[in-house]
Structure 1
Amino acid sequence: MPDIPEQGQPGQPGPYGDPHGWGPHGWGPPGWGPHGWAPPPPPPKPGVIPLAPLGADHVLGGAFATMRRYAKPLFGTAAAAYGLLTVVMTGALLAAYAATREDSRAMYEPGATFSWEHGRPLLMAFGAVWALVLLASLAVNSFIQAACAATLHEAVLGRPTTFRAIWRRAWSRTPTVAAVTVPLAVILLLPVAAFALLLVAFFVTLLTDSAAPFGLIFLLCLLVLPLAAWLYVLFAFAPAAAVLESAGPLTALRRSAHLVRGAWWRTFGISLLAGIIVLIVSLAFRLPLQFAAPEPPAVHPDSDTSEVLFSQLRSQFGLYALLGMIGTLLTQLLATVFLPLVTALLYIDRRIRGEGLARTLAEASRP
């Protein structure tokens, strides 16, 4: 991307000797004016953030401002991608059911017992559906991350953009973003796998009266959790680098590690704060729905089982289900868009601080 140079292309020395384009006290020199000592002028702000080292308020505020000013291309792209994913999932499930309809009937008819003759086609068909949905989800999430970075590029420069332009730019970088997303997903699965092993060790301890497996797995969890957090933050900037620098997968991972060096705790803290904001918004939607949920019908000893089941299902649908679906969709869109924007802004902040990107962006934003 021409407006954000790649590694090895830092900003030119500024007019006051600083290689980042800064004076000794800020953007430009302080000095004596007609009314006495004049403070340094504020940094330029052509878009959603000032072109200066960013504080946590600038990062979070810039993410919210981007979502507000570029809502159509940003949320339109995310909604279209999730709509396409829903179509793929539905089509795959219907195709799997159509291909194994006879086996399903043979397995679930009254008095039927499990047999590999009918179970194998079901496992193969729905295993293929699971693999397809997994790959499609990876592609969709990578596409949305690329769209967020592409939109933020225009938002920082204060330039308008369109749904088509963002779609085209994001689509061209989706394979690379997917390639760097896979190791990030593996890193996130490490603590999940360790926790699953911890549960297995707990049940083994209960059955065998031996605490050795549980103790070893617990120590493993204590090691895996901080290691996974450190690795994830270390490579968190890779999707942004893949889009904004048009970097390859390995180059993007190396760039992320280079930029995070010396700012791990700051990156972790602001990212954690963004996650807490998403959690609070999610709870603000879900808690009122939980309190407003209709009570299930009372069950009596002489009640018919099918009637009770139908009444319980009916009590969970209607307006309550519709509001719950809308709330889940909105919070999912917020998390999917807000968190990548925060990460991309942290990436830009690191380049402003270490590579003089502010001056380059200021020159690129001029008409």
Structure 2
Amino acid sequence: MPPYPAPPGPPGWGGWGGWTPPPRPGVIPLAPLRLGDILGGAFSTIGRHWKQLLGMALAAYGMALVAIAAAIAIAYLALADRLDRTLDSDVAPGWDSVAPLVFSFGAVYLFGLFTMLAANALIYASCPVVLQDAVLGHRSTFGAVWRHSVRRVRSVLGTVLLTALIVAVPLLLLGVAFIASVITLITMSMNAGGYGWLILLGFLGALATGPLAVWLWVKFCLAPAAAVIEGQGPVAALSRSSQLVRGDWWRIFGISLLAYAMAGVASYLIQLPLSFLNILGPSFTDDASSGGAALTIVITSLVFGLFAVLVGQVLTAAFPQLVVSLLYIDQRIRKENLGPALAQAASPPPAAY
């Protein structure tokens, strides 16, 4: 009597006499992924390719900080005289004096916001690039990751901007409610009119648009990976993400939320020791015997603080995006039987005779 048949494997895999485990050339098995496979694959990718990921973060955020600092310096040099006159004036400055300052530094703020979005887009583009090699078990270099990421950063930035516009609606309404609350508290003692209707409008608007924004954000969360791996444009990548998420929204939402929560906790734990250093820094500075020693302590504290912020930013930006990119690969394995194609791409080329 023949033995009982083994349980069937995932689509595209089988073997003589029953089920055989799927190949695993890299950080994940080339089969439908479980939660442990996805999280383990993200951690393994960081462990194997941390130099490339950290190098991309240093390059992206370093260039962003230099650009923002240059914009602030240019704005300050251009308006230094006007700013000094405004601050030194004994009378309240009029709108004609304040308007150039408000518009100039508002433009600097918007420039900084866009610059940080571009830096995040470069990180988002690098994660699928690194993950492609990690899944196939191939080695990667910083130069190759940089070149491929830069080529696709415009498309990824487009998907990030379009998704940010969706999420910005409830955040903007919450901001309106918060500002109206602050103005109401300030003017309460002056018997001025309140802004209760604006507060109510902001909170109710945020409650009404928040769930829709979350639903659309999850629906389009796979777009950066599609833009990089498939070479899609921003709109096509959003459509592709919507197609892959369809039918698995809750699963993708839960795993993505867990990834962001884990990254946030890890970032906080990394930056926590530096927070104690910043608290103890002034006391050390007060006891310093010379100004040079005090300056050294302050600079060292700032350097370690910036390093902790950078590492935390890498975790909060890279780890969730690696998880989301693995969800993209998982959805393609489940819906398009991508596993055999990945196994073929991972296998070494035949030897020449």
| TM-score, normalised with respect to structure 2 | 0.82
Q: Distance in 2 between matches of 1:149 and 1:82?
A: 18
**Structure with greater helix share of residues:** 2
Contact kept? 1:28, 1:41, Cα under 8 Å:
yes
Q: Map 1:163-202 to 2 at 5 A.
A: 163-199=142-178
User: 2:40 matched to 1:69?
Assistant: no
> Equivalent residue for 1:344?
325
Pair 1:233-2:212 in alignment: no
**Partner SS for 2:280:** coil
Give 5+ residue unaligned stretches, structure 2: 1-6, 284-293, 349-353
Is 2:84 the partner of 1:105?
yes
Aligned with residue 328 of structure 1, among 300, 309, 313:
309
Q: Which residue of 2 aligns with 1:88?
A: 67
Query: Are the structure 2 counterparts of residues 216 and 140 from structure 1 closer, same or farther at C-alpha, using a change threshold of 3 Å?
Result: closer
Q: Is the contact between residue 27 and residue 135 of structure 2 (CA under 8 Å) also seen in structure 1?
A: yes
Residue of structure 1 equivalent to 2:337: 356
Distance 2:255 2:106 in 1: 38
1:123 to 1:362, Cα distance in 2 relative to 1, 3 A: same
Q: What do residues 310-354 of structure 1 show as CA deviations (whole Å, max 9, x unaligned)?
A: xxx99x946554443332221111111111111111000000000
Given that 2:181 and 2:195 are in contact with CA atoms closer than 8 Å, whether structure 1 keeps it comes out as no
Q: Which of 290, 294, 306 is equivalent to 2:280?
A: 294
State the partner residue of 1:59: 38
Q: Is the 8 A contact 1:205 1:213 kept in 2?
A: no
| Partner SS, residue 294 of structure 1 | helix
Aligned partner of 2:8 in structure 1 is 24
Give the 5 Å matches for 1:270-285: 270-285=255-270
Task: Say if 2:51 and 2:142, in contact at 8 Å, map to a contact too.
Answer: yes
CA distance in 1, matches of 2:39, 2:234: 27
Cα distance change on mapping 1:129 and 1:44 into 2, 3 Å: same
Give the Cα–Cα distance (whole angstroms) in 2 for the partners of residues 186 and 137 of structure 1: 15
Taking the aligned partners of 2:72 and 2:40, their CA distance within structure 1 comes to: 41
Unaligned segments of structure 1, at least 5 residues: 1-22, 32-38, 298-312
Moved more, 233-242 or 55-64: 55-64
Paired residue type of 1:187: I
Conserved? CA contact 2:256–2:324, under 8 Å: yes
Deviation of the 1:154 alpha carbon: 1.2
Q: Tell me, yes or no, if the aligned pair for 1:274 and 1:339 is still in contact at 8 Å.
A: yes
Q: Deviations over 1:106-143 (max 9, x none)?
A: 11225254144543332333233223222222222111
Matched residue of 1:103: which SS?
Answer: helix
Alpha-carbon distance between aligned partners in 2 of 1:71 and 1:211, rounded to the nearest angstrom:
50
Aligned to 2:254: 269
Partner of 2:205: 220
**Equivalent residue number for residue 139 of structure 1:** 118
Counterpart for residue 244 of structure 1: 229
Q: Does the aligned pair in 2 maintain the 1:194–1:224 contact within 8 Å?
A: no
Amino acid at match of 1:222: L
> 1:106–1:112: 8 Å Cα contact kept in structure 2?
no
Kept in 1, the 8 Å contact 2:9–2:21? The answer is no
Change (3 A) 1:112 1:163: farther
Deviation at 1:198, TM superposition (A): 3.6
Q: Any idea what SS the aligned residue of 2:153 has?
A: helix
CA deviations 1:269-299 (Å, max 9, x no partner) are 11111111112212313444455623978xx
1:43 aligns to 2:25 (yes or no)? no
Identify if the C-alpha distance between structure 1 residues 62 and 92 changes in structure 2 by more than 3 Å, giving closer, same or farther.
same
On the 8 A contact 2:156/2:234 being kept in 1, the answer is yes
Seq. identity, %? 41
1:129–1:156 distance in 2 versus 1, CA, 3 Å: same
Contact 2:177-2:201 at 8 Å conserved across structures: no
Contact 1:194 1:221 in 2 (8 A): yes
Q: Deviations over 1:149-197 (max 9, x none)?
A: 1111111111112111111111111111111111211222233223224
Matched, 1:119 2:98: yes
2:14 is matched by which residue type in structure 1? G
Q: TM-score, normalised by structure 1?
A: 0.79
- Residue 346 of structure 2 corresponds to which residue in structure 1? 365
AA partner of residue 336 (structure 1):
A
Distance 2:211 2:247 in 1: 17
